Amino acid sequence: MLDINALSQLKQLKQEIHENTPRFDGRVRGSSGRFGFAVTEEGQSYFLSPDEMEKVLPGDEISFRVEPAGDDKEQALVEKLIRSEISDFCGRYIVRGKGHFIEPDHDQFNRWIFVPPNARMNAKDGDYVAATMSRHPYPSGKAQAKIEAILGDETTPHIERLVMQQRFALSAEFSEDVMKEVENLVAAGIDAKCADRTDLTHLPFVTIDSAGTRDIDDALFAEAHSDGWTLWVGIADPEALIDAGSALDNEARKRSTSVYFADRVLPMLPPELSEQLCSLQAGSRRLAMVAELRLEQDGNVREVKLHNALIESRAKLTYAQVAQLIDDTCEEIPAELHGPLRHLADCARTLNQWRAAHCLLMDDRPDYKLILGEDGRASDIVKIERNAAHKLVEECMLVCNRSVALWLRERNAGFFIEQNGIRTERLGEAAALLKEQLNLEGKPVLGELESYVALLQQAEQSSSDLPLRTILSRQMERSQFGREGKPHMGLGFNCYTTFTSPLRKYNDFLIHRTVRALLNDEPAPAIEDDVLTGIQDMQTRGRIGASQAEQWLKLQWLQTQPENGIYEGTIVHMNSGSLTVRLDDTGIEGVIDRRKAKGWTYDSKTMTHSNGEERFILGQPMRVIVHEIDVPKRSLKLRMA
């Protein structure tokens, strides 16, 4: 039996061990397995064993201590739950004997959650449900959920969209307050707003879009001069009708973006505005903000003027029609528009040449359109190659956006889309790759725009057998909103914002509000950081939700194709354990597992898998066979043919 001195010494020893044990706060990150990681604000990552992961959920903020785990490794042990990110979630209902569970639809949340008898709402095995977490797993490890709604099962038409709407909190319907404001705006029309505007209805603007597009937000016209062009870019102006702080304005801010599912658009603004009163429909006078850009013969922007204007589009043209006219002629387009459209094509071609010389061109990638049957399932997937008209519109939007950005930066107003180039942790390898492949004498400078653009242009022209531009593009930071107008390194622009989609994106809508204030000699509106953060979050949600619903539909379609069919694909990404291959004809992406490939190694600098004799590189063609499809998880596993 220990005497009082020994007990005191033991207590003191325990206190010293406790005080000397490293402790941190961090966020839980899940994995594809049962284990996870606790990540601190400084980016330090500590292993969470399966037993510790049972106590927490992905995204949880926790306090944890770090202890040895043998073999010179460390592990995190959860000591306190600070805050949980997951309260509402979606998933598939699973019945196993007497046990009822939800398999969450979440990238890192890969364990079933028990549903007690009084919280099941008569859900059936295989149903997709919306649920709330009724008991957090900390500290017992026994989580419970309550079903809030049954969304349907795999036979329910449009279940893919319904699940993604719920999962990413994407609104479909508008409130009565919002629709009342819309009704009043439609009844009033635009006449009262026309008086103080620049009347540009004499200019033969046209719109160029897909045949089925109804929310038309840009119209174009170009005049040719002996020393260049005047490019007029007219943009729909819903902000002129919508009061700041109104129910409609608040709802647009909340949604932040229109979300384009294969079967339905969830619009940022009600269709009565986005597809009718504010849409730049042919033959109708419309409110617009117009950028008048004077371009020199080499495509350089010499002068920028912005107008509160009134315009009238002469025709709604499709990409196919305009591309046909550019290549030869198109009888479907009125003859009086042929000249202006050819001036527009020449202008856009010169703008592209200017960008090729001074900035960075993006890779041309086809689009893929899902053809849906009456049951909401994909009956076909059509590949749509970008033509000359797509590129024409792209050049006009890019020059308009960067010109407006410079106009705002000169006035110390607005906000910008900034992109910092290569991720910090990859800068060393990126610099080493370029130095080696381009035979440079010194270390390349990747943090300054001019040097960065020159290096990537050199990489594009390099005789290297590696796709240097593609490798570097996989190592880029995400773009983000900023106040200073720093460069957008990915585009090679010294300043950038977006102004051309106010019917579809709330940040563009806010840029209109800012430009209008400055044109009226009023102070620019204050836009809080949390508003910009909210916009970015909702736009990310919308993009991922639409992408995952599309992948779901594509994999359903792929299941109907003949077994063991061989598909032509391209390697678009890789890491140490896998290759990601995109099927060329459909755009479907799947993964080839390389973890058990003996004798092969992965080089993160060159992003290659090799065995000394053969290697796989980005952009390489590859023939593949479907190995496994998991539709509910939107997972496709491939194997080499």
Confidence class of residue 449 from pLDDT cuts 50, 70 and 90?
very high
In three-state secondary structure terms, 526 is coil
- Which range of 139-143, 191-195, 555-559 scores highest in mean pLDDT? It is 555-559
The percent of residues in the chain predicted with pLDDT above 90, rounded, is 88
Q: Would you kindly state where each structural domain of the chain is located, as residue ranges?
A: 22-83, 88-153, 176-397+507-519+540-549, 420-477, 561-640
Alpha helical stretches, state H, 21-110: 50-53
For residue range 345-355, list pLDDT tens digits in order: 999 999 999 99
Asked whether residue 257 carries a pLDDT value surpassing 80, the answer given is yes
Residues with Cβ within 8 Å of 493's Cβ and at least 6 positions away in sequence, in order, are 359, 402, 405, 487
Q: Please, what is the end-to-end C-alpha distance for the chain in angstroms?
A: 72
Q: Please report the pLDDT score of residue 163 as a whole number.
A: 97
Confidence class of residue 107 from pLDDT cuts 50, 70 and 90?
confident
Give a three-class secondary structure readout of 302-336.
Answer: EEEEEEEEEEECCCEEEHHHHHHHHHCCCCCCCHH
Q: Please report the pLDDT score of residue 30 as a whole number.
A: 87
Report the C-alpha gap between 604 and 173 in whole angstroms.
46
Asked whether residue 150 carries a pLDDT value surpassing 90, the answer given is yes
Strands (E), 281-414: 285-296, 301-312, 316-318, 367-372, 378-384
Q: Are 171 and 255 in contact (CB under 8 A)?
A: yes
Q: Considering only CA atoms, which of 409, 398, 371 is closest in space to residue 557?
A: 371
Q: Please report the pLDDT score of residue 141 as a whole number.
A: 85
Hey, what amino acid is at 512?
A: H
Report the C-alpha gap between 116 and 100 in whole angstroms.
7
Confidence class of residue 612 from pLDDT cuts 50, 70 and 90?
confident
Asked whether residue 156 carries a pLDDT value surpassing 70, the answer given is yes
Fold adopted by 22-83: OB fold (Dihydrolipoamide Acetyltransferase, E2P) (2.40.50)
Q: Please report the pLDDT score of residue 11 as a whole number.
A: 62
Residue 457 corresponds to which tokens in the numbers above?
């242009």
Asked whether residue 9 carries a pLDDT value surpassing 70, the answer given is no
Asked whether residue 12 carries a pLDDT value surpassing 80, the answer given is no
Confidence class of residue 336 from pLDDT cuts 50, 70 and 90?
very high
Asked whether residue 187 carries a pLDDT value surpassing 90, the answer given is yes
Report the C-alpha gap between 53 and 40 in whole angstroms.
16
Statement: the pTM of the whole predicted model exceeds 0.85: yes
Looking at domain 561-640, its CATH class is: mainly beta
Q: What is the mean pLDDT of residues 218-245?
A: 97
Q: What is the mean pLDDT of the chain?
A: 94
Asked whether residue 15 carries a pLDDT value surpassing 90, the answer given is no
Q: Are 605 and 619 in contact (CB under 8 A)?
A: no
Report the C-alpha gap between 139 and 78 in whole angstroms.
9
Phi/psi of residue 434, each to 5°?
-65, -40
Strand 207-209 to strand 316-318: parallel, antiparallel, or no bridges (unpaired)? Answer: parallel
The percent of residues in the chain predicted with pLDDT above 70, rounded, is 97
For residue range 474-518, list pLDDT tens digits in order: 999 999 999 999 999 999 999 999 999 999 999 999 999 999 999
Q: Please report the pLDDT score of residue 5 as a whole number.
A: 65
Asked whether residue 600 carries a pLDDT value surpassing 80, the answer given is yes
Asked whether residue 7 carries a pLDDT value surpassing 60, the answer given is no
Confidence class of residue 4 from pLDDT cuts 50, 70 and 90?
low
CATH node for 88-153: 2.40.50.640
Report the C-alpha gap between 364 and 329 in whole angstroms.
24
What does the radius of gyration of the chain's CA atoms come to, in whole angstroms? 28
Q: Please report the pLDDT score of residue 65 as a whole number.
A: 92
Same fold, 22-83 and 561-640: yes
Q: Please report the pLDDT score of residue 53 as a whole number.
A: 93
Q: Please report the pLDDT score of residue 66 as a whole number.
A: 92
Q: Please report the pLDDT score of residue 43 as a whole number.
A: 86
Q: Are 108 and 139 in contact (CB under 8 A)?
A: no
**What CA–CA distances, in Å, run from 355 to 173, 267, 350?**
42, 32, 9
Q: Please report the pLDDT score of residue 3 as a whole number.
A: 65
**What CA–CA distances, in Å, run from 343 to 314, 316, 565?**
16, 18, 47
Asked whether residue 109 carries a pLDDT value surpassing 90, the answer given is no
- Please, what is the Cα angle at 396 between 473 and 207, to 5 degrees? 125
Asked whether residue 335 carries a pLDDT value surpassing 60, the answer given is yes
Q: Please report the pLDDT score of residue 72 as a whole number.
A: 77
Q: What is the mean pLDDT of residues 252-274?
A: 97
Q: What is the mean pLDDT of residues 266-275?
A: 98
Asked whether residue 282 carries a pLDDT value surpassing 80, the answer given is yes
Q: Please report the pLDDT score of residue 1 as a whole number.
A: 53
- Count the residues in the chain: 641
